[in-house]
Amino acid sequence: MATFVPFITRLDTAFWSTVNKKSFTIGSLTNLRSQLQHNDTVGSECSLSLNHESFNSIENSKDLTISGSLLLFNTAEGFKAAATAENKQKLLEAEALKIWNAITSHSWLQNPKLLSTFSIISFADLKKFKYYSLTCVPAFVYPKDIEQEINTVSNYNLDDASLLSYHKKTSSPVFLFSKKSSTILEIFDLKNQSSPDDVVIVIADPSPVPNTAGWVVRNVLAAVAHLHPSWRHCHVISLRSSGSVGIKFKWALPDEQNELTVPKAVGWDKTPYSVNLRDELDPVKLMDKSVNLNVSLIKWRLHPDIKLERYSELKVLIFGAGTLGCNIARSLSGWGIKHFSFVDNSTVSYSNPVRQSLCEFEDARLERGKAETAAAALKRSYPSIQANAYKLTVPMPGHTIDEKDEAELEKDVKKIETLVKEHDVVFLALDSREARWLPTVLATKHRKIAISVAIGFDTYVVIRHGIGLRKDSVPHESTSEAVPYSQLSCYFCSDVTAPGNSTVDRTLDQQCTVSRPGTSFIASGNACELIASVLQYPDPLQTPASPDDNTTMLGSVPHQIRGFLSKFQQILPIVKRFERCVGCGDAIAQQYQQNGWKFVRDVMNSSSKLEKVSGLDELQDSVNAIDIDFEEDDEE
């Protein structure tokens, strides 16, 4: 009994990508073409391969192709309805009728490609990038009970190379070889043949299986049996560039088959084809790969041991979503950092968009909050970023509070502390000295990496605060070259007075930060690269401040970066912690630990409390008590 190798449908990523991009009308037929290969030698099925070029017109095509159609559904229910046994049979019969009409009208002799076609029904879940399909390649079970006898090509006294050359030149899928004249004839001459032994039917066959003809041969045999009802056999060359096969097909007397009765046909896939291409087609996933590639190139080309996962897993909290906060977040996202939270209580003004890289004119016109604007802009620029916005007022020393507002203060302090605990790095990009106080206290308490960034008109400073409490720091031998992380000063360590309300008795123009426009970008870029370097130390929480270029694979890791644009100069001072600091001092931490938000309330109502708790007031008194007598020398 003769067997025929069926088709397997191979729809590559480019095919489904085209489905995504093209505006196909759901439920309508779309013409396709599949280019067949007659040089396959691997596998047990003929390949019906489709890609992005399958949507091009098949007219004037010189390739070995099979034409077909795609019926696309946009719901799973529509696809399931089309895939019922009843509806699949209707579609099969409709396609089989077209082929049978080509056979009975003899038009296939003019265009043998009419004998082969395919239909695909598909459901494309364009949001999840999941695709499902069923393919039908109709083939007649006619004539019945076909048997085969394998022959070598040499038995027919023909040259395999000449047949392949003719096929390549004409792209004809079916043609004849005359045994009498030893010449190649067009398939149209088949109707003039009286004996099946006078000619060999040459069929370009995509079958990869030796001694077994492909699916396309079935309909050719049906056409031959209908054209010559008296024939009981025919000779076929299964033309393959990997080695053609000679086959003699034999069959019994066919049943009476009138022109209006279509023989039974088969050809549906047994099971639906499904594929999830989210990683290949989802634009967000594609951007993920591109962003990862940017930082991966650093690893591949420059620093094979760089720990990129420390960036992608980092959670960053930014106090202040203004000029500095926006630029810091922008820069950090370039390292593949995806987790951001912004804290800011102000709204976007019309002066902001030209200086703040994450806000636009519409944000100012609609008076959107700076935090929500920055978070939304980050997600627009890179959808995989998780950006959160919190419209909170950071409690500040010297900014007095009424008793009726204490409940709200307690709530805000607890929320801010929770945010600090939940993040790995805290950036202080606020526009006043006193606004940095509470975040400094909390970052110290919870041993978080904290970096302050501040700018003046033509100056800037980037400071990474010492880690943890001073009393808990592990003794390290510091040198003039390197100082342990735990011994580094914070933003307030160089102050001998407590921060107070800097807005008192100051006009609006005096309250605004006036700076050269490029200052923020320089300071923010330095802050970004500072944390990038810190994260490459074996234990980031132990990163010493050192000018040594070998501190990490990215180079030195300074404590402070102070820049002066008037001279285009930058210095890298290292300053140790001050035991009586109003920000990171142990006495301040102890008071907050004991009294929590109530301590914050007291500081807000009287910033001098910080001086009393830290011992700064005693230091000030001791300095004032010093009496220096200068002896007068008449001669001098």
Q: Which residue has the tokens 């200068």?
A: 630
**Residue 381: C-alpha distances to residues 245, 333, 371 (Å):** 59, 10, 16
Please indicate, yes or no, whether residues 118 and 214 belong to a single structural domain of this protein: no
Q: Is pLDDT larger for residue 158 or for residue 456? A: 456
Kindly provide the b/e burial profile for residues 272-288, where b requires at least 16 CB atoms within 10 angstroms of the residue's own CB.
ebeeebeebbbeebeeb
Q: Which residue has the tokens 């203004």?
A: 322
**Residue 512: C-alpha distances to residues 73, 503, 509 (Å):** 59, 10, 5
Please check the confidence at residue 514 and state whether its pLDDT lies above 80. Answer: yes
Answer whether 259's CB lies under 8 Å from 221's CB.
no
DSSP reduced 3-state for 267? strand
- The Cα–Cα gap between 580 and 611 comes to 9
Please check the confidence at residue 241 and state whether its pLDDT lies above 70. Answer: yes
> What backbone torsions phi and psi does residue 38 show, to the nearest 5 degrees?
-110, 30
Positive or negative, the CA dihedral 119, 43, 143, 35 is positive
373-392 residue pLDDT tens:
999 999 999 999 999 999 99
Please indicate, yes or no, whether residues 453 and 587 belong to a single structural domain of this protein: yes
Please check the confidence at residue 584 and state whether its pLDDT lies above 70. Answer: yes
Answer whether 388's CB lies under 8 Å from 374's CB.
no
DSSP reduced 3-state for 626? coil
Centre a 10 Å sphere on the Cβ of residue 449 and count the other Cβ atoms it contains: 23
- The Cα–Cα gap between 227 and 225 comes to 6
Please indicate, yes or no, whether residues 128 and 250 belong to a single structural domain of this protein: no
CATH number of the domain residue 156 falls in:
3.40.140.100
> What backbone torsions phi and psi does residue 162 show, to the nearest 5 degrees?
-70, -35
Q: What is the largest CA-CA distance in the chain?
A: 147
Please indicate, yes or no, whether residues 249 and 315 belong to a single structural domain of this protein: no
Please check the confidence at residue 512 and state whether its pLDDT lies above 90. Answer: no
- The Cα–Cα gap between 618 and 613 comes to 10
- Of 470, 474, 502, residue with least CA distance to 581: 470
Q: Which of the four pLDDT bands, split at 50, 70 and 90, describes residue 331? A: very high
H or E stretch including 390?
strand 386-390
Whole-number pLDDT of residue 160: 83
Classify 211 in phi/psi space as left (phi over 0), alpha (psi -120 to 50) or beta: left
> What backbone torsions phi and psi does residue 439 show, to the nearest 5 degrees?
-60, -35
Q: Do the domain assignments include residue 278?
A: no
Please check the confidence at residue 510 and state whether its pLDDT lies above 70. Answer: no
H or E stretch including 423?
none
Among 55-69, 340-354, 420-434, the least confident range: 55-69
- Structural domain containing residue 88: 7-137
Mean pLDDT for the stretch of residues 301-323 = 94
Please check the confidence at residue 587 and state whether its pLDDT lies above 60. Answer: yes
Quickly list DSSP for 226-292.
HH-TT--EEEEEEE-TT--EEEEEE--PPPP--TTPPPPEEEE-SS-EEEE-HHHH-HHHHHHHHHH
The domain boundary, picked from 231, 265, 299, lies at 265
Please indicate, yes or no, whether residues 236 and 162 belong to a single structural domain of this protein: yes
- The Cα–Cα gap between 516 and 522 comes to 11
Mean pLDDT for the stretch of residues 534-553 = 94
Q: Do the domain assignments include residue 142?
A: no
- The Cα–Cα gap between 196 and 385 comes to 71
Whole-number pLDDT of residue 528: 97
Please indicate, yes or no, whether residues 86 and 162 belong to a single structural domain of this protein: no
Q: Which of the four pLDDT bands, split at 50, 70 and 90, describes residue 635? A: low
Catalogue the active-site residues: 512
- The Cα–Cα gap between 328 and 333 comes to 9
Whole-number pLDDT of residue 625: 63
H or E stretch including 72?
strand 65-73
Provide the domain count of the chain. 3
Token pair for 59: 């007219």
Token pair for 426: 């805290």
Quickly list DSSP for 571-593.
E----B--TT-TTT-HHHHHHHH
Please indicate, yes or no, whether residues 497 and 604 belong to a single structural domain of this protein: yes
Please indicate, yes or no, whether residues 424 and 571 belong to a single structural domain of this protein: yes
409-437 residue pLDDT tens:
999 999 999 999 999 999 999 988 999 99
The domain boundary, picked from 137, 165, 193, lies at 137
Token pair for 387: 């950006």
266-288 residue pLDDT tens:
999 988 888 888 887 778 888 88
CATH number of the domain residue 366 falls in:
3.40.50.720
Token pair for 516: 């050269």
Chain-centre distance for alpha carbon 565: 39
User: What's the DSSP call for residue 107?
Assistant: G
Report the mean per-residue pLDDT for the chain.
Answer: 88
Please check the confidence at residue 481 and state whether its pLDDT lies above 90. Answer: no
Please indicate, yes or no, whether residues 313 and 178 belong to a single structural domain of this protein: no
Whole-number pLDDT of residue 106: 95
